[in-house]
Amino acid sequence: MKESGVARENYVVIVGCGRLGAHLAELVSGRGSSVVVVDTNPDAFLALPSEFSGFTVEGDASEMGVLLQAKAGRADLFVAVTGSDNLNLMAAQIAGRLLGAKRALARVDEPSRVDAFVDIGIEVISPTTIMAGLFLTA
Ligand code: AMP
């Protein structure tokens, strides 16, 4: 896998421990960053590998108290990758703009919404758009 900016960050907060979040946590933790993963569902943390050396916070990332518990404001990188575009955008905005995370990224699955969010200064990654591009060029 290509080296990413994520790998070089010291303190990374990941919201959503689904397939993407858990895999990202495994990669980032394996490359030496301190990682905190947030999820409402404690069972989701079972997807983390046994060698995962970070921390977990059980809670709803739309709640400020949960983001504070995860020390989102101290994050070099905050990544919101739940299945909800709205939640991801809200959490990334709160972490980046209100709490002071150095960088905040949101997963946005709905391609038609990407430009609008980029226009208001939110960094987004759209798995749908990336996948479509890969299929087109495969
Ligand atoms: P998926 O949609 O399968 O990629 O996974 C999304 C993950 O985000 C699941 O493990 C959900 O439990 C988690 N999730 C959904 N809503 C929230 C929330 N409000 N706060 C934290 N985690 C959430």
Query: CA-CA distance, 102 to 40, in Å (whole number)?
Result: 24
> For ligand 1, is residue 9 a contact (CB within 6 Å)?
no
- The confidence score (pLDDT) of residue 120 equals 82
Specify the pTM: 0.93
Q: Is 97's pLDDT higher than 80?
A: yes
Domain at 2-137, CATH class:
alpha beta
Q: Which of 26, 90, 86 is nearest to 56 (CA)?
A: 26
| Minimum-distance ligand 1 atom for the alpha carbon of 17 | 10
In whole angstroms, give the CA distance from residue 45 to residue 24. 13
Q: Is 61 in the pocket of ligand 1 (CB under 6 A)?
A: yes
pLDDT in tens, 8-55: 679 999 999 999 999 999 999 999 999 999 999 999 999 999 999 999
Beta strands in the chain (DSSP E): 11-15, 34-39, 55-58, 77-80, 104-107, 123-125
pLDDT of 8 reads 63
Residue 122, pLDDT score: 85
Quote the CA–CA distance of 1 and 83 in Å, as a whole number. 23
Domain boundaries, the chain: 2-137
Residues of the chain with pLDDT > 70: what percent? 94
Closest by CA position to 57, among listed 43, 78, 77, 36: 36
**Terminal Cα-to-Cα distance of the chain (whole angstroms):** 17
Q: For ligand 1, atom 6, which residue shows the shortest CA distance?
A: 82
User: Average pLDDT of 66-93?
Assistant: 97
Distant-in-sequence, close-in-space partners of 19: CB < 8 Å, separation ≥ 6: 47
Supply the residue whose CA is at minimum distance from atom 21 of ligand 1.
Answer: 39
Average pLDDT over residues 103-131: 92
